[in-house]
Amino acid sequence: MARPTVNKPPSFDTRDPLAPAFWDERFDKGFTPWDRGGVPERLRRYVAEWPSAAPAALIPGCGSAYELAFLCAAGWSATAIDFSPAAVAAARQAVGPEWQGRVLEADFFQFQPAAPLELIYERAFLCALPRAMWPQVAERWAALLPSGAVLAGYFFFDDNAKGPPFGIARAQLDALLAPGFRCEEDEAVLDSMPVFEGKERWMVWRRL
């Protein structure tokens, strides 16, 4: 009996996830296993429960940015950024003409929002970056969010040395965020993509 065909990932020339070309190449070749093609359910419920009108939100490392169109349609003042031109192009196509002006090519570590943020949405951004960069990410989250604002989204827990995605240990995440944030929600995720299945949690961290 012939063995079933296994689709192997394409070969890539760029190996450094800190370079925009790394992500450009993956989008250009259609290799985006982190892309669920829509909005996860827990985010939908969280937005429905949000108490104020037109909050300002940022989606760093937005990829295809399906969540941007969802947030904007819900009345949020949301912006999505990515430093990969190919990701920005994919996001603008995904969100359509109504919201594509809110997708910006920008470096998260340099980006300055037009108004104070109430929320930063985390989805496969921290785990896309090498572990040595994580303290800088946490510092930037804290710098961008005023007291009372939230960092909410999905955090990937794993101990595999290779990546991306680069998983984190819970104690390590606490050490990164506890100086500036308090964890308010921590839940299992029921609709993960296969690459994250069983290893990610929905979390909400409140800025102190």
Per-residue confidence band for 34, with pLDDT thresholds at 50, 70 and 90? low
pLDDT tens by residue, 91-111: 999 999 999 999 999 999 999
116-208 topology per CATH = Rossmann fold (3.40.50)
For residues 137 and 139, what is the distance between their CA atoms, to the nearest angstrom? 5
Per DSSP, the three-state class of 141 is: helix
Q: Where are the domains of the chain?
A: 64-111, 116-208
The structure's pTM equals 0.89
The C-alpha atoms of residue 177 and residue 135 are separated, in whole angstroms, by 9
Distance CA 31, CA 8 (A): 10
- Residue 75 binned pLDDT confidence (cut-offs 50, 70, 90): very high
Instruction: Specify the 3-state DSSP secondary structure of 131.
Output: helix
pLDDT digits (tens, 9 = 90+) for 132-168: 999 999 999 999 999 999 999 999 999 888 878 999 9
Pairing of strands 200-207, 103-105: unpaired
pLDDT grade for 37, boundaries at 50, 70 and 90 = low
